Amino acid sequence: MIQNERNCRHEHVLHVARQMMTAARTAPKGKGVDIIEVALVTGEDLKKLADQMVAMVEEHGMKFFLRDADNILQAECVIIIGTREQAQGLNCGHCGFPTCTGRTEGVPCALNSVDVGIAIGSACAMGADMRVDTRVMFSAGFAAQRLDWLKGCKSVFAIPVSASSKNPFFDRKSKS
């Protein structure tokens, strides 16, 4: 049997994306508490995500969402990684408040933010090891959060994944 890379690329990218999800799951967590959620966006949901990003431009005026929405449509899939809000009870002050109980509602625990960052880094490192193209996107993550695709997560980021001749997430032109 002969398999042309072009014919099996999509399934390969999905396999790599699943490995990236595992890397995010197994990344170190503050105090060993796992409040990370990870999901894979494919097919028609990529269009829903891009449409949500375009719709959000009207609301906040951040034009780079338009460019990023185009990138989402060029990706084979998108991994979304988020964290649920849970104070870790260290009273460390890294969130800007001296105690966890003194923290204002809606201010994330700094350890939660670090945990999602480490998970993103682990996922992207796996993608790099497997030679796929990725880019961390606040914009697509924010749109996924608005769509409530990771229930209960307050801080969501997205990683579009591609394996093409030219990285679509590099040399991007802004859309005015």
Are 31 and 141 a contacting pair, CB within 8 Å? no
Are 88 and 109 a contacting pair, CB within 8 Å? yes
Residue with tokens 């494919």: 42
Domain count, the chain: 1
Instruction: Please report, for the chain, how many H helices and E strands are present, in that order.
Output: 5, 4
Name the token pair of 102.
């003194």
Helix pair angle (138-146, 44-60), 10° resolution: 100
Question: Does the residue 175 lie in any domain?
Answer: no
Question: Does the residue 170 lie in any domain?
Answer: no
How confident is the model at residue 92, as a pLDDT? 93
DSSP state of 57: H
Non-local CB neighbours of 42 within 8 Å, separated by 6+ positions:
14, 76, 77, 78
Non-local CB neighbours of 160 within 8 Å, separated by 6+ positions:
71, 72, 74, 75, 77, 78, 134, 135, 137, 140, 169
How confident is the model at residue 176, as a pLDDT? 63
Query: If we measure between CA atoms, which residue out of 163, 162, 113 comes closest to residue 138?
Result: 113
pLDDT at 84 over 80: yes
Q: What is the pTM of this model?
A: 0.93
Name the token pair of 10.
């999509």
What are the pLDDT digits (tens) for 33-81? 999 999 999 999 999 999 999 999 999 999 999 999 999 999 999 999 9
The CATH number that applies at residue 151 is 3.40.109.10
Higher-scoring residue by pLDDT: 1, 171? 1
Question: Does the residue 129 lie in any domain?
Answer: yes
* Highest mean pLDDT pick, 22-26, 30-34, 95-99, 167-171: 22-26
What are the pLDDT digits (tens) for 87-140? 888 999 999 999 999 998 888 899 999 999 999 999 999 999 999 999 999 999
pLDDT at 175 over 90: no
Question: Does the residue 174 lie in any domain?
Answer: no
DSSP H helical segments within 61-96, as ranges?
64-74
Question: Does the residue 121 lie in any domain?
Answer: yes
Residue with tokens 């989402």: 72
Q: Which domain holds residue 108?
A: 5-162
pLDDT at 166 over 90: no
